[in-house]
Structure 1
Amino acid sequence: MIDELDEALRELLVREIPISGGDVEISFDQPRREWSSRLSRPTINLFMHDVRENNKLRTQQPFFDTVITGDGASVSRNSFRIDVHYMITAWTTDPADEHRLLSRVLMAFLRHMELPDDLDDGTLSNDGQFAVLLKVSQYENVINPREMWAALDNEMRPSVDLIATISINPFEPLLVPLVTETQFGFGQVTGSQNRDQDGGYAVGTFSTSTYHTVAGVVRGVNLDERIAVEILEIAVPVTVYSNGSFVIERVREGDYTLVVWTAEGERSEHPISVPSDDGLIEVFAS
């Protein structure tokens, strides 16, 4: 993934500076003394020296993202936002040319606070969920340049700092079946309560009541417009979602009439059973 970021940054610089005919080389090497001594033409070097999570961009939303599909749901973990730090240097024999190259690099990244969409196939942005952010010459964590160049065993040179923030999700989405029904029951004990021979309580009568929450979907309607769903026989809350799915809560077992209202005021009735033999209640409204 980082190698794809390298290639995207290379293409951005070639386009923006611009560079043609191989007049200037773009590399991603460690700028050690041995490397710089072998350079034979002007070079822009992007040295990646740090990779860490951007804690400020951690989402405050739920840890997992759920997308309802036709026959279930896709559950995926939220992406990690990763900062990739580059130290950009220019290498020429003339300091004026070096400063000119650095100026063009700086202007190129200042024109783009985000990586252009055509340079990312979705790998760096988690399929377009988050843009690839580019921050140039913004030192959040100041690095002592003397220590950096001493570690590289090379002479100190002017540099431009770049932070590219990419999105990484190492986990595959989990496909889970759609929950179409839940059942809730409670009971009441009546009559005498006496100890039985096993030491427990023997009760006279145990009555129960059971309520269901069922899910369904309305087919054959324009989902761009709002629809309403109700149960003709009883007043129970019916939640309708933008994809035509609905949820009926706290309803007893039995046969009912489902009424669908379209945005144009058209009304249709559909017999349903709770619980449904097929699990998901499907009605076709024309």
Structure 2
Amino acid sequence: MLNSILQTLAEMLANGAVLTSTEQIDFSHPASLENRDRDGSLNLYLYDVRINKKMPSNGRQVERHFDNLRPIAQVSKSPSWFDISIVITARDRTVLGEHQLLSETLLLLMRSPLLQEEFLTPDLRGHGNLSLSVTNDPPIDVGSLWSSLSVPIRPAIYLTVTVPFNVWRKTIVPLVTERSFGVDNSISDISRSKAKVQRVAVAGIIKNILNSEPLRRVEIVLEGTEKLAISNREGYFFFENLTFGNYTLHLKRFGYQSKSCDVFVGEESYVPKEILLMPS
């Protein structure tokens, strides 16, 4: 959970034009950076974790969504919420350069008071966007913080992210590539019925091209048919009961560029096709 938050913040800062690459971001103890000759870099250091008293930490929650146009409800225990405190410092050849880096970082963070769920790592999803706030009143006295780090006080940004931690994880259901339906059978046997297997003809997994994370709620239309599917939480979708031949898929999701791709329905192999979408 903690590493996931740092990873998400690093990608956010790198993609926000503050830096050109996540390689310019350190997560080391600030004391180890004092004598390091590295220009134009940021350091994110997680220094405090404590329970958030404003968020509910017990009871149940119900998540509702549509899976292939069918309403689905999942009931799970509510997670515990924690405030993760991070101090951000800059390293540059000059003091002016450090101040400029911090100013650009501060502007980006102030414009983005939430960490969007679709850009979070999978272990942080399922609870909506996460609150992110810049504070001038960190949970630990600033002087005491830097003293405990054995580093002289220096210009910094103090950031708090509220994240969920759920020890009662939901059961992960394996992706389904074939389903069984009970049907009447005229041939007499012990049970008077058999199961008819309908195999999936087209299956796919949709991901964000920038971070390879699955995308849910993508609308997929199968050209030339009336079939439509919606990708689930794992980015998975499928169409079944198709004849052999070539098909075209049209994908659409708010915030992403629309895309069309061709697929071929063949004999026995139904390997899920990976499809990447670019944010608009």
TM, length-normalised to structure 2:
0.53
Q: Which residue of 1 aligns with 2:30?
A: 31
Unmatched 5+ stretches in structure 1: 175-286
Q: 2:55 aligns with which of 54, 57, 79?
A: 57
Moved more, 111-120 or 4-13: 111-120
Moved more, 147-156 or 98-107: 147-156
Aligned 1:178-257 pairs, distance under 5 A: none
The residue type paired with residue 134 of structure 2 is V
Q: Which residue of 2 aligns with 1:284?
A: none
In the alignment, structure 1 residue 99 sits paired with structure 2 residue 95: no
Unmatched 5+ stretches in structure 2: 65-69, 172-280
Query: 1:103, CA displacement in angstroms?
Result: 0.3
Q: Do the aligned residues in 2 keep the contact of 1:130 with 1:167 (CA within 8 Å)?
A: no
CA distance in 2 between partners of 1:9 and 1:138 (Å)? 19
Query: 1:99, CA displacement in angstroms?
Result: 0.6
TM, length-normalised to structure 1:
0.51
How much is the aligned-residue C-alpha RMSD, in angstroms?
3.0
Q: Do the aligned residues in 2 keep the contact of 1:115 with 1:132 (CA within 8 Å)?
A: yes
In the alignment, structure 1 residue 114 sits paired with structure 2 residue 110: no
Deviation string, structure 1 residues 259-281 (Cα, Å, up to 9, x no partner): xxxxxxxxxxxxxxxxxxxxxxx
Q: Which residue of 1 aligns with 2:160?
A: 163
- Do the aligned partners of residues 146 and 74 (structure 1) sit closer, same or farther apart at CA in structure 2, a change above 3 Å counting? closer
- Equivalent pairs counted in the alignment come to 167
Q: Do the aligned residues in 2 keep the contact of 1:87 with 1:160 (CA within 8 Å)?
A: yes
Q: 2:149 aligns with which of 148, 152, 163?
A: 152
Q: Kindly name which structure, 1 or 2, has the bigger radius of gyration based on alpha carbons.
A: 1
CA distance in 2 between partners of 1:16 and 1:103 (Å)? 13
The residue type paired with residue 48 of structure 1 is L
Q: Do the aligned residues in 1 keep the contact of 2:38 with 2:91 (CA within 8 Å)?
A: no
- Do the aligned partners of residues 139 and 146 (structure 1) sit closer, same or farther apart at CA in structure 2, a change above 3 Å counting? closer
Percent of paired sites with the same residue: 25
Q: Do the aligned residues in 1 keep the contact of 2:27 with 2:45 (CA within 8 Å)?
A: yes
- Do the aligned partners of residues 138 and 156 (structure 1) sit closer, same or farther apart at CA in structure 2, a change above 3 Å counting? closer
Q: Which residue of 1 aligns with 2:192?
A: none
Task: Tell me the secondary structure at the aligned position of residue 56 of structure 1.
Answer: coil
Task: Tell me the secondary structure at the aligned position of residue 55 of structure 1.
Answer: coil
